[in-house]
């Protein structure tokens, strides 16, 4: 779902590569996710399990903030046969892929896409399910996502958020690879504590395992590498190869088995109002 170059509030890794030509960063990110439209370290079977736990009603209103290619939104529609989803993202390329996929899946009439900064999205009414998976950087982190995305959830609805956490204390190599500080993430228990402080109670969660991470990262690196090798004359080919190598090295030598990823299914805690505040 993220439109940046990696999950869980990653800083823009494209900016870490020195280019000699003007590069379309959104395009490279779209190419990198072309074989993994879920755009997070989560297998499809895990997406379905999360959506089953988040399923509220056959005619659910669904909102996906930072939707990327809208893979989560379209799969949510498969669980809500009479539902409608809105997907919001700033990437023209990701939204074009989403629109094509929606037509192919027969979902075009039930999916509305907005090319817009998710912070500026003003919906008409609230939603039964609001998702923000791997795009919490849009709202300046997990706490901001709970507050800003959460305001679009109706009183009995579900907020589904995917966020990074430290599996182990971060190493210097991991911090450098992610351009992060230790306080940028907490551990898994701290993530749950932060949700509850904001008035949200986890009713289910999925913690991505190493196979999901490896599949995501190899898909990211491999998609970009394959595109560059198949288009050697394209002006973005050399920058794409440089980015893929940099990303691969930072993952393998930096944050692999250090950064975790959890997707939480959240409901409002007892006594919390529509804005997450206590009555």
**Alpha-helical regions (H) of the chain:** 25-32, 44-54, 71-79, 92-104, 142-148, 172-178, 188-197, 210-230, 237-250
pTM of the predicted protein model = 0.89
One-character DSSP codes across 138-188: GGTSHHHHHHHTGGGEEEEEEEEEEEEEESSPPPHHHHHHHT--GGG---H
Tens of each residue's pLDDT in the chain, 279 residues? 444 444 443 433 333 333 334 567 788 888 999 899 999 999 999 999 999 999 767 779 999 999 999 999 999 999 999 999 999 999 999 999 999 999 999 999 999 999 999 999 999 899 999 999 999 999 999 999 999 999 999 999 999 999 999 999 999 999 999 999 999 999 999 999 999 999 999 999 999 999 999 999 999 999 999 999 999 999 999 999 999 999 999 999 999 999 999 999 999 987 544 444 443
């Amino acid at each position: 779902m993220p439109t940046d170059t990696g999950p869980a509030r990653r800083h823009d890794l494209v900016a870490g590569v020195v280019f000699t030509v003007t590069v379309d960063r959104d395009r490279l990110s779209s190419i990198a996710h072309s074989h993994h439209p879920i755009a997070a370290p989560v297998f499809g079977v895990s997406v379905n399990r999360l959506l089953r736990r988040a399923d509220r009603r056959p005619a659910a209103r669904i909102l996906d903030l930072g939707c990327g290619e809208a893979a989560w939104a379209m799969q949510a529609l498969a669980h809500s046969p009479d539902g409608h989803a809105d997907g919001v993202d700033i990437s023209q390329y990701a939204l074009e892929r989403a629109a094509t996929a929606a037509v192919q899946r027969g979902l075009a009439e039930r999916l509305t896409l907005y090319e817009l900064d998710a912070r500026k999205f003003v919906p008409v009414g609230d939603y039964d399910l609001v998702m923000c998976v791997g795009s919490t950087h849009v709202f300046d982190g997990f706490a901001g996502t709970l507050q800003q995305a959460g305001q679009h959830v109706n009183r009995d609805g579900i907020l589904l958020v995917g966020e990074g956490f430290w599996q182990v204390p971060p190493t210097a190599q991991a911090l450098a690879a992610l351009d992060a500080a230790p306080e940028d993430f907490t551990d898994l228990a701290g993530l749950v504590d932060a949700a509850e402080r904001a008035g949200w109670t986890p009713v289910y969660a999925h913690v991505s395992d190493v196979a999901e991470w490896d599949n995501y990262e190899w898909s990211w690196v491999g998609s970009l590498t394959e595109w560059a090798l198949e288009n050697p004359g394209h002006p973005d080919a050399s920058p794409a190869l440089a980015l893929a190598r940099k990303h691969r090295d930072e993952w393998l030598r930096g944050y692999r088995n250090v950064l975790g990823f959890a997707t939480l299914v959240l409901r409002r805690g007892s006594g919390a109002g529509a804005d997450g505040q206590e009555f």
